Amino acid sequence: MKPTMVLGDFLVAYLRKIGVTHLFGIPGDLVLRLFLRFGARRGLRVVTLSHEPGVGFAADGYARATGQIGVVCVTYGAGGHNMVNPVAGSFSERVPILVLSGGPADEERKLGTLIHHQAKEIESQLRIYQELTCAARLLDDVRTAAETVHEVVQRVWREQRPGYLEVHRDMVERRIAVPRELLEWDGALHFARSDEHNVAEAVRDTAARYNAARRPIVTVGIETFRYNLTRDVERLAETMGAPVATTVLSKGAFPEDHPQFLGVNIGAISPPGVLRRVDRADLVLNLGAMQTDMDLGSRPPQVTRDRSIWAVGGRVHVSFHTYTDVHIRDFVRGLRKVRLRRHRERVRYHDNLPRAAHEPADPLRVVALLHEVNRFLHDHPRHIVVTESGDMLFAGLDVRVGRAAGYLAQGFYASMGFGVPGALGAQLGDGRRALVLCGDGAFQMTGPEIAQAPRYGLRPIVVVINNGGWQIFRPVVRRTELLDVPAWPYAQLARAWGGQGFRVETAGALRAALDEAARSTSFVLIEACVPQDDLSPVSRKYIQASARHGRWVRA
Ligand SMILES: Cc1ncc(C[n+]2csc(CCOP(=O)(O)OP(=O)(O)O)c2C)c(N)n1
Ligand SMILES: [Mg+2]
């Protein structure tokens, strides 16, 4: 960085300084100059995909897998608006993304005509992003541009939510002043600080209640993962010796082969063993879990407030009182320093799968598919599992990921289309091979982005569960033809796009295809055919529970 710089070069230098290596984007005339600066030599590794939603999901998957900020660059209007859904998902699920958009030059705006890609007003896109980010700013002043960038990025990091910067095309080559503090800054971003006194008291209060409890359990939420606390939480849990559950959104944030791991808590539709243990708990210590309908299985919380301690969003709620300005990092680290009673409960892992009872020649069903995936992961643990909205979002909760494996899903925002591009981004950032479980309907949204994999040397394994449509709704829809999607020749397409393709109809053939995939040097697509009315155990429970409460009526 230098005291005065061209804005475009400053952005590249700034992003490099904070450790960003990749930029995901699609160019357009209103962003081309900026885009080309990023792609210049000594710039960033530019990753382009076919469609902005794919780009956004890839940046999100990259950020989830690496814990770094995912950066996207889009053109104004058509590009920016196409990016809205992935960014909304990143906002909901606390993923740090920085969106850079182009825009029309000053003199174009002065023409008084409408400008191509414009929707309502020139400022409309900025306003849309103000709604979807923790900070959204237009860089239109050379005197303050550098500080504005820094402010937005610091917010993104502190809040682990998306931010937005709009750079109109006549600004890219303007010279800006870079303040001394930024020139001397080491590039380290910091999380929010807590109030020490509040932390101390929240920790004391928590420890006293915890030490008095006889049957406590710990719930590990997504904030612990986003704020890089996985190790601390593991050590803390080991000191406590209590069972540990994760939520739908935080699955994978605690190693599933850990002896204290109980399973995924999905509220009322949890595996019976999890449900029983949570019901018996006289204290639930909730570390960083947001309260969502998905995590609670669409029912009110099982554990009443007087039996819970809930640390999330910079606050710790102990029974009916609240400590403010207590960040999850300081809270967890504070707990690690105090004396906590050690429980020696023997914990058993629970999932929702009936015992494997399939023969290799049996027609493939979802339960057998999950057993085969678990078998594969047991033999090949170094994978990141990515599950896609639809039955696989619920089915995936029964995939057991151990210490080496990661697990990524939009467990709350649940947008279809995340799976394949999210996996590409995750693999680019993390290096481990991704294993994607994706429905046929969802694959038809963004799955063709898999054609980009060979260009980037990526070789995920994508299992497309072909049940002939949007079948998660089948139990509650009478006119089932409304759920049909066309039959694509998935395996053939995969071959045409430079990968390997298989179509399997039996459990044995799936096993063989997965084993073949393990050896493959390209990406692999396995079309796994299952009956139209076959759903995973969790989806069945979810639909039954929702139907009982009148949310899903048969229509
Ligand atoms: C972007 C988006 N559009 C619509 C939905 C609603 N939705 C949830 S699951 C689903 C069907 C998914 O179909 P498929 O991928 O084949 O999975 P299946 O239900 O068959 O398991 C739909 C349409 C959604 N979650 N996201
Ligand atoms: Mg389907």
* pLDDT tens for each residue of 70-80: 999 999 999 99
Average pLDDT on 344-364 reads: 95
Average pLDDT on 518-534 reads: 98
Checking if the pLDDT of 19 tops 90, the result is yes
Does the CB atom of residue 425 touch ligand 1 within 6 A? no
Q: pLDDT tens digits, residue range 274-326?
A: 999 999 999 999 999 998 887 776 666 666 788 899 999 999 999 999 999 99
Nearest CA to ligand 1 atom 8: 390
Q: Give 539-547 contacts, CB < 8 A, sequence gap 24+.
A: 539/391, 539/394, 539/395, 539/472, 540/475, 541/269, 541/297, 541/352, 542/266, 542/269, 542/297, 542/298, 542/394, 543/472, 543/475, 543/476, 545/268, 545/269, 545/297, 545/298, 545/299, 546/298, 547/475, 547/476
- The pLDDT value given to residue 114: 87
- The pLDDT value given to residue 378: 95
Which H or E run contains 131? helix 124-132
Checking if the pLDDT of 194 tops 70, the result is yes
Burial class (CB in 10 A: 0-12, 13-18, 19+), 339: exposed
Q: pLDDT tens digits, residue range 208-233?
A: 999 999 999 999 999 999 999 999 99
Checking if the pLDDT of 531 tops 80, the result is yes
Which H or E run contains 13? helix 7-17
* Dihedral sign from CA coordinates of 368, 374, 375, 376: positive
Higher per-residue pLDDT: 82 or 554: 82
Number of alpha helices (DSSP H) and beta strands (DSSP E) in the chain: 21, 21
- The pLDDT value given to residue 213: 97
- Contact (CB, 8 A) for 74 and 83: yes
Average pLDDT on 252-272 reads: 94
Three-state DSSP class for residue 435 = strand
**What's the 428 CA to ligand 1 centre distance in angstroms?**
26
Average pLDDT on 112-127 reads: 91
pLDDT band at residue 61, thresholds of 50, 70 and 90? very high
**What's the 470 CA to ligand 2 centre distance in angstroms?**
4
pLDDT band at residue 403, thresholds of 50, 70 and 90? confident
Nearest one of 261, 200, 270, 214 to 233, comparing CA atoms: 261
Average pLDDT on 126-148 reads: 97
Taking the CA of residue 470 as reference, the ligand 1 atom at the shortest distance is 13
Nearest CA to ligand 1 atom 4: 416
Three-state DSSP class for residue 355 = coil
Checking if the pLDDT of 550 tops 80, the result is no
CA dihedral (492, 497, 500, 502) in degrees, to 10, reads: -30
Does the CB atom of residue 399 touch ligand 1 within 6 A? no
- The pLDDT value given to residue 293: 83
pLDDT band at residue 547, thresholds of 50, 70 and 90? confident
Amino acid at 437: L
Nearest CA to ligand 1 atom 3: 416
**What's the 459 CA to ligand 2 centre distance in angstroms?**
23
- The pLDDT value given to residue 95: 98
- Among 84-88, 130-134, 473-477, 499-503, whose mean pLDDT is lowest? 473-477
Q: pLDDT tens digits, residue range 27-59?
A: 999 999 999 999 988 889 999 999 999 999 999
- The pLDDT value given to residue 113: 86
Does the CB atom of residue 389 touch ligand 1 within 6 A? yes
Nearest one of 256, 289, 286 to 271, comparing CA atoms: 256
- Contact (CB, 8 A) for 190 and 156: no
- Whose tokens are 């949204």? That residue is 445
Helix then strand then coil, % of the chain, to nearest 5? 40, 15, 40
Ligand that comes closest to the CA of residue 466: 2
Three-state DSSP class for residue 264 = strand
- Among 3-7, 361-365, 393-397, 542-546, whose mean pLDDT is lowest? 542-546
- The pLDDT value given to residue 303: 67
Ligand that comes closest to the CA of residue 393: 1
- The pLDDT value given to residue 364: 98
**What's the 271 CA to ligand 1 centre distance in angstroms?**
24
Q: And the tokens for 60?
A: 């999100």
Average pLDDT on 235-245 reads: 97
- Contact (CB, 8 A) for 528 and 536: no
The backbone torsions φ and ψ at residue 172, rounded to the nearest 5 degrees and listed phi first, read -60, -40
- The pLDDT value given to residue 553: 64
Does the CB atom of residue 441 touch ligand 1 within 6 A? yes
Taking the CA of residue 392 as reference, the ligand 1 atom at the shortest distance is 21
Q: Report the residue among 83, 392, 416 best suited for mutation to probe ligand 1: largest number of ligand atoms under 8 A from its CB.
A: 416
Average pLDDT on 480-492 reads: 97
Does the CB atom of residue 145 touch ligand 1 within 6 A? no
* Dihedral sign from CA coordinates of 83, 86, 92, 96: negative
Measured in whole angstroms, the distance separating CA 358 from the mean position of its chain's CA atoms is: 33
